[in-house]
């Protein structure tokens, strides 16, 4: 439990909601038909808007229940705490919101799928693989380059679930690649503007609940402080570390 409560807030919340909702559904206390995505029930006069969220919080049955929670927690935590692309408070939340929106529009509205948990996990795995190119990863008992990890998981889904399940899950890769393209590739190599920016209100909310230091297995990481929360270090201003000291005197002087 200590590891869970020390996990980053977005991943911890996603994992907890997935555990609770899945346990209620598979325990027979909640009908799955109330949590799946149905465009006709969401986009109507009195929309059942909760389905936009609940469709991301249902694991597969039996062994998938454990594996889905494990993969969500493992790769979500790795991204939220260690990825350089989510170095500022709220950035990972913006990433999750973006990829979830793309998954809903593609897997939900185009492919008529009803549960998006696997696609969201696949987005995490794909982004993790992009951040850790050149390293090795374990897929069950097989060691492989981390770049191949999303495709190995997708092949596993194809074998067990068929083409539709694999195609729907691959929308997580599409969503994560779109985020990478619009936030990094296009601004860096195409000279364009990054339009995926964390709103100021979101950044302030997460800044209020985020410690500037973060303890990891290999040391302590320090999160940068946004300029709006550090007025003494704003643009165009620099304060010398010696400026608070008194006037200097020459050694040996009177």
The SS3 call for residue 196 is coil
- Looking at residue 225, the DSSP 8-state letter turns out to be P
pTM of the complete model = 0.82
Helices (H) and strands (E) counted in the chain, each on its own, are 12, 4
Q: Tens digit of pLDDT for each residue in 144-192?
A: 999 999 999 999 999 999 999 999 999 999 999 999 999 999 998 888 8
Give φ, ψ of 48 to 5 degrees. Answer: -90, 75
d(CA 29, CA 97): 28
222-232 confidence digits (pLDDT tens): 555 454 444 44
Report the range of poorest mean pLDDT among 2-16, 92-106, 162-176.
Answer: 2-16
pLDDT value for 7: 85
Average predicted confidence (pLDDT) for the chain: 85
Per-residue model confidence (pLDDT) at position 141: 85
DSSP 4-59: HHTS-HHHHHHHHHHHHHHHHHHTTSS-GGGTS--HHHHSSSS--TTHHHHTTS--
Cβ-based burial of 32 (10 A; exposed 0-12, middle 13-18, buried ≥19): middle
Cα angle for residues 204, 84, 184 (degrees, 5° grid): 95
d(CA 172, CA 117): 9
11-64 pLDDT, tens digit per residue, is 999 999 999 999 999 999 999 999 999 999 999 889 999 999 999 999 999 999
Name the CA dihedral angle for 15, 16, 18, 21, rounded to a multiple of 10 degrees.
Answer: 180
């Amino acid at each position: 439990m200590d590891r869970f409560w020390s996990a980053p807030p977005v991943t911890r919340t996603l994992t907890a909601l997935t555990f609770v909702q899945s346990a209620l559904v598979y325990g027979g206390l909640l009908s799955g038909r109330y949590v799946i995505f149905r465009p006709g029930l969401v986009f109507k006069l009195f929309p059942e808007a909760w389905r936009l969220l609940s469709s991301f919080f249902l694991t597969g049955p039996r062994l998938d229940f454990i594996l889905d929670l494990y993969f969500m927690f493992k790769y979500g935590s790795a991204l939220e705490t260690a990825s350089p692309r989510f170095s500022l408070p709220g950035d990972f939340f913006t990433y999750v919101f973006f990829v979830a929106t793309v998954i809903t529009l593609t897997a939900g509205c185009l492919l008529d799928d009803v549960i998006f948990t696997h696609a969201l996990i696949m987005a995490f795995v794909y982004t993790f693989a992009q951040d850790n190119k050149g390293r090795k990863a374990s897929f069950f008992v097989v060691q492989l380059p981390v770049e191949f990890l999303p495709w190995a998981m997708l092949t596993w889904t194809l074998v067990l679930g068929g083409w539709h399940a694999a195609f729907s899950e691959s929308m997580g890769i599409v969503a994560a690649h779109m985020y990478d393209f619009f936030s990094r590739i296009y601004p860096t190599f195409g000279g364009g503007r990054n339009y995926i920016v964390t709103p100021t209100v979101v950044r302030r909310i997460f800044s209020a609940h985020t410690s500037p230091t973060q303890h990891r297995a290999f040391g302590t990481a320090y999160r940068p402080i946004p300029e709006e929360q550090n007025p003494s270090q704003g643009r165009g201003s620099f304060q010398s570390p010696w400026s608070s000291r008194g006037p200097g005197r020459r050694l040996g002087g009177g």
